[in-house]
Amino acid sequence: MPLIVPLLLAVVLFCIGVYGVLARRNAITMLMSFELMLNAVNLNLVAFDAWRLDGLATGQTLAVFVITLAAAEIGLGLAIVLLLFRGHGHVDADSARDLVEVDAVQQEKGAAT
């Protein structure tokens, strides 16, 4: 298989992930989009490792590290999403940012009085 095929697939996956992060405001959808982007990176690493044929499997080793980091990221991300849902009843990223600003303003008013 030529190298261009997995590279084009990785570009498509990465573009879908970027669109998901920029266009969607649901926190779970944003986490899934981050995972798509990381999978595109993994596909590039493995494709270049197979194309290079050096025998060290460095691309595959780096892909395993990226998978490990992605697992840690999704664990922390889901914990934050659950905390947001329990505290406010939604997982909308824009509303969460607005709530933080309102809370900060209310704390400043309380500290001033």
In whole angstroms, what is the distance from residue 40 CA to residue 90 CA? Answer: 29
pLDDT mean across residues, the chain: 87
Average pLDDT over residues 49-76: 92
Q: What is the pLDDT of residues 3-47, one digit of tens each?
A: 999 999 999 999 999 999 999 888 889 999 999 999 999 999 999
pLDDT at 9: 97
- Grouping H, G, I as helix, E, B as strand and the rest as coil, residue 6 is helix
**Residue 21, amino acid:** V
Q: What is the CATH number of domain 4-112?
A: 1.10.287.3510
